[in-house]
A and B are shown apart, each in its own frame.
Chain A
Amino acid sequence: MIGALRSGGPMVRRSWAPAFLCCWLVLTWVLVEAFGDFFYTATAVRMFLLLIVVLGLQIFSGNSGVLSFGHVSFMAIGAYSSALLTIPTEIKDFTFLTMPNILKSWVFPAQLGTLEGTLAGAGFALVFALIVAAPIVRLAGVQAGIGTLAVLVIVQVFIVQTSAITRGTSTMIGVPHTTAFAHVLVWVLIFLVVAFVFQGSRFGLRLRASRENERAARSVGVRVSVERAIAWTLSGFVVGVGGALYGHYYETFGPRDFYFNTNGLDIVLLPIAMLVVGGMTSVTGAVTGCYLVMVVYSAFNRLEVNGLLGAKAPSGTTNLVLAFVLLVTLVLRPRGITGGSEIPWPSEWRLPRRRRPALPSEPRSDPEQRGRPA
């Protein structure tokens, strides 16, 4: 009996990592709800919302090895469309005076509940992801970075310019506050499991094969573009839910919430940093990176706001320390804290070895790759 548990059956082993992470997240929630003050609750909700984005990114970037700056645009679409469909009609009447009639006829009467609104927002994000998937999945490397950045800019410009539907640069108001901490937790748990299931599914396996060696994957019949498109669309849905929840938690938001922010938490670059610092090829890495960044951030932010022993840290310390921690972590562990693997079965825990032998699957640095004879 004990022996069986120690080595674990295949099902037990497979569900070990997701189960562990779920327990970890629930534990966080319990602790924060029980002992946390306003500050901790706000930070924890923020962390969980960001974690949804990081999980979405992990589903796409982690499995395909393709970088994306564009996922925040799904967040924006989720937030805006969910808000439009849930704001009470009487508020819409005076906030969206110039909305074209075609939209007015069905957007104005719509008053969806929490779940329907979130799902509708995520649905719009999914459709948008499906549309932009066609060009994006054909790109890799820097081209993918710039291509997804272009998606981000396009959505941002659209939101700012189409003020009849999005109120332009003004903030959305009257978004019902229907997101509680527990809702966010439930969605995070769902997406955690989704990320694990996707990773082990045939789609995830094919995509990961293409990440390790695109040509070899193609040669055994993997249609890389199709696999990338599937992951891209799925991650669009995940991040879309994150956006909708974001809207319903903060109640007011504007286009700048979904764009580069040079003074504070940058929602475009920070999730990428979280994913890479944790180890982008594993879900454990996504969670770890998110926790590391947010714990450092909130600790020093609190030091800035409240001070310790009467001495306050000068404002700006948080970003400085955060950048320093990121840098040191990457220097010590260039493949992320987890090294890109899931949390191992307890009997296999051992201290990290100093030097890992370079796996052939390891994403190599660019200069080496370029050296291949054509």
Chain B
Amino acid sequence: MSEGIQYTLDSIAFGSLFAVMAIGLALLFNVMGLMNFAYGELIMAGAYTMYYTRGSGWLGMIAMTVIVVTALSLLMELVAFRPLRNASPITLLVSSFAVSYSLQAVGWMTVGKGPQKGVEPYPWLTRQLDVSGVLVSRLTIITVITTIVLLAAMTLLLKRTTLGIQLRASTEDFRMAQLVGVKANWVISAAFAITGLLGSAVALLYVLRSGSVSPDIGLGPLLVAFVGGVIGGLGSLAGAALGGFVLGAIINALQATLPITLKSHTQLFAFLAVIAILVFQPGGLVALRGGFLRRFSRRRRPADEGVEA
């Protein structure tokens, strides 16, 4: 029983990482039609920043990681995606491959050289607390709290600030938003900065959890967040977050509980389910639901279901 609760809590923590990541992907997708494959490299950058700054105390490490990842995200926009602002989504996608490639190549050439590196988590983070028989590590609690804080902050930002209103307007209709005075550069840079902040949080929590660091660290989480985001509904931030969360949590739960022989076949069936969901609910699972989840999502229009690529 207590073991079951432990697994559940752990899966919640793992899933919430992907919820945060999927929000970043969905934000960029809605604002400029970009499926950002280079998002994984933000995590890579964060991981290496952590590796090199771990000695300077946890506060310094967090500050440096946030700064580096956000700066990289903004730089990415400035160099690669700003000149392509009006290009088709497929062109944007391929340019994000290119960005991802180049950052990975830089990673392999500089910090990724030599033996496998790792970030050793602080002992006080992994210590397990005993709550009436259930063992919970502090990292799990911190992950969940961080996610809740980030989601709340995102909600407040989108609802209460001018920037949030501009962002929401741009996700609804980018051209119209520009016509009524929203600055395109400002909104897109802001979206990338938010993505960077979220990415740095994911990097910090993910690396403290897994420990190892390598230039291709980003690909795995990126794919999970992508698939989760799309089945949840990349058209809405809440939908994407929920999709990422559920997929991440399920993957973690299955990996913890299933024997190895079954594990990989489960992946096969999981992806069959993904295809089924896409065919029967192209707008994502959440798109049909009402309530608070939809508050920040775009209005669902039948024409949007198959977003032309």
Contacts and interface: CB of A to CB of B under 8 A. Distances in A.
Binding site secondary structure of chain B? helix
Interface string A60-73: 00000111000000
Contact of A330 (B35, B84, B173, B231): B84
B67 to A, nearest CB: 24
Contact of B29 (A140, A142, A263): A142
A316 B105 contact: yes
Contacts of A161: 264-265, 268
Interface in A223-273: 260, 262-263, 266, 269, 272-273
B226 interface: yes
Interface string B171-203: 011111000000000000000000000000000
Interface string B279-309: 1001000000000000000100111101111
Given A139-B279, A157-B265, A367-B33, A334 B91 contact: yes
A314 B102 contact: no
B274 A150 contact: yes
B259 to A, nearest CB: 13
Interface stretch (B6-14, B93-101, B119-127, B248-256): B93-101
A326 B99 CA distance: 9
B154 interface: no
Interface stretch (A92-100, A194-202, A317-325): A317-325
A160 interface: yes
Give the interface residue-count category, chain A: 35 or more
A140 B230 contact: no
Contacts of B175: 367-368, 371
Contacts of A147: 274-275, 278-279
Contact of A334 (B84, B227, B265): B84
A265 to B, nearest CB: 11
Contact of A135 (B31, B93, B275, B309): B275
A139 B109 contact: no
A371 B308 CA distance: 13
A370 B168 CA distance: 13
B227 A141 contact: no
B98 A323 contact: yes
A7 interface: no
Interface string A292-316: 0000000000000000000000111
A149 B170 CA distance: 29
Interface residues of B, number: 67
A103 to B, nearest CB: 19
Contacts of B303: 372, 374
Contacts of A140: 306-309
Report which residue of A67, A139, A367, A372 has the largest number of chain B beta carbons within 10 angstroms of its beta carbon: A367
A330 B226 contact: no
A105 interface: no
A153 B266 CA distance: 12
A119 interface: no
A371 B227 CA distance: 25
A324 B80 CA distance: 10
B35 A145 contact: yes
Report which residue of B105, B108, B231 has the largest number of chain A beta carbons within 10 angstroms of its beta carbon: B105
A368 B276 contact: no
Contacts of B89: 141, 365-366
A183 interface: no
A323 B102 contact: yes
B86 A365 contact: yes
B101 A322 contact: yes
Nearest to B218: A262
Interface of B: 29, 31-33, 35, 37, 80, 83-95, 97-102, 104-106, 108-109, 170, 172-176, 215-216, 219, 223, 226-227, 230-231, 234, 264-265, 267-268, 271-272, 274-276, 278-279, 282, 298, 301-304, 306-309
Given A142-B29, A161-B264, A331-B84, 19 more contacts: A67-B93, A136-B275, A138-B279, A138-B282, A143-B307, A150-B278, A157-B265, A157-B267, A263-B104, A280-B90, A319-B108, A322-B101, A323-B101, A323-B102, A326-B98, A363-B309, A364-B88, A371-B176, A374-B303
5 contacts: A266-B101, A319-B105, A323-B99, A324-B98, A371-B173
Interface of A: 65-67, 135-136, 138-147, 149-151, 153-154, 157-158, 160-161, 214, 260, 262-263, 266, 269, 272-273, 276-277, 280, 314-320, 322-324, 326-327, 330-331, 334-335, 362-372, 374
